[in-house]
């Protein structure tokens, strides 16, 4: 092995992705140490010159088999995520075909996938609870996009005909959004509960008074996840107070 090959091998060994080279006969010709570990083998010799589909017969006919076969046939790169049941692991896979075969880069994404599934399930659970909440409640991420909005909240702010989820407060409530934005930024920066009363103008001659409470919520690692907003329309009380002041 000359110096150039040695330097290239050193570089490939430092790559965090698993890297395998496969020839036109679907035989392994190279594996870096990460690939050996991800494929649950002790050394490269366990796989070199062996047919991929004979070593991993459970993969035949699955999405990874179809994708790599298609990549070689069409000579076009592929990128996909794949679950391999025998290992009970998720992988992010990228295939780069050539006239000599295909080079595959892959990494274990099981932890990320499990986190995404957990967060998705938790969000659906929170959404189901919040939608039935008797409170006018909404939950936002750190970019002030709606994650959850209760039915009462949507009724009060006239959102029943449009889904606010995934959209920012300034987009969903353009007339009031700038005022909420200032409140949200202050609450998130201070990372503490704040409350107050605010008047919002629906039109030049129509205004509503809102009593609000904003508090941050946190991820399991302690990082700020966003904000929870609880509001109550108190226009009737404020109008009564204004009438009393006129007497």
pTM exceeds 0.85: no
Q: Can you name the residues that pair with 194 across neighbouring β-strands? A: 214
Q: Which of 64-68, 74-78, 186-190 has the lowest mean pLDDT?
A: 186-190
Share of the chain above pLDDT 90, in %: 40
CA distances from 201 to 73, 167, 205, 213 (A): 63, 22, 8, 19
pLDDT category of residue 220 using cuts at 50, 70 and 90: confident
Q: For the residues 149-153, what does the mean pLDDT come to?
A: 83
Q: For the residues 90-108, what does the mean pLDDT come to?
A: 93
Q: pLDDT averaged over the chain?
A: 83
Say if residue 5's pLDDT is above 50. no
Say if residue 203's pLDDT is above 60. no
Say if residue 103's pLDDT is above 90. yes
Most confident range (mean pLDDT) of 15-19, 99-103, 196-200 is 99-103
Q: How would you class 203 by CB atoms within 10 Å of its CB: exposed for 0-12, middle for 13-18, buried for 19 or more? A: exposed
pLDDT category of residue 196 using cuts at 50, 70 and 90: confident
């Amino acid at each position: 092995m000359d110096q150039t090959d040695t330097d290239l091998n050193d570089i490939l060994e430092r790559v965090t992705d698993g890297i395998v080279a496969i020839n036109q006969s679907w035989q392994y010709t190279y594996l870096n140490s990460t690939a050996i570990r991800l494929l649950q083998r002790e050394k490269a010799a366990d796989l070199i010159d062996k047919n991929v589909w004979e070593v991993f017969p459970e993969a035949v006919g699955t999405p990874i088999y179809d994708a790599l076969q298609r990549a070689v046939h069409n000579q076009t790169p592929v990128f996909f995520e794949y679950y391999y049941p025998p290992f009970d692991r998720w992988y992010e896979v990228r295939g780069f075909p050539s006239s000599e075969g295909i080079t595959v880069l892959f990494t274990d994404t099981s932890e990320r996938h499990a986190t995404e599934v957990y967060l998705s399930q938790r969000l659906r659970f929170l959404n189901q609870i919040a939608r039935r909440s008797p409170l006018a409640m909404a939950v936002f991420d750190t970019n002030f996009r709606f994650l959850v909005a209760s039915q009462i909240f949507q009724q009060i702010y006239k959102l029943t005909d449009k889904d606010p989820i995934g959209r920012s407060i300034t987009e969903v409530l353009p007339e009031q959004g700038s005022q909420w934005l200032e409140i949200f930024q202050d609450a998130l920066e201070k990372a503490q509960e704040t409350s107050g009363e605010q008047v919002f103008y629906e039109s030049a001659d129509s205004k509503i008074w809102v009593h609000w409470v904003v508090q941050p919520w946190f991820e399991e690692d302690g990082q700020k996840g966003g904000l929870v907003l609880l509001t109550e329309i108190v226009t009737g009380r404020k109008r009564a107070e204004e009438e009393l002041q006129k007497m």
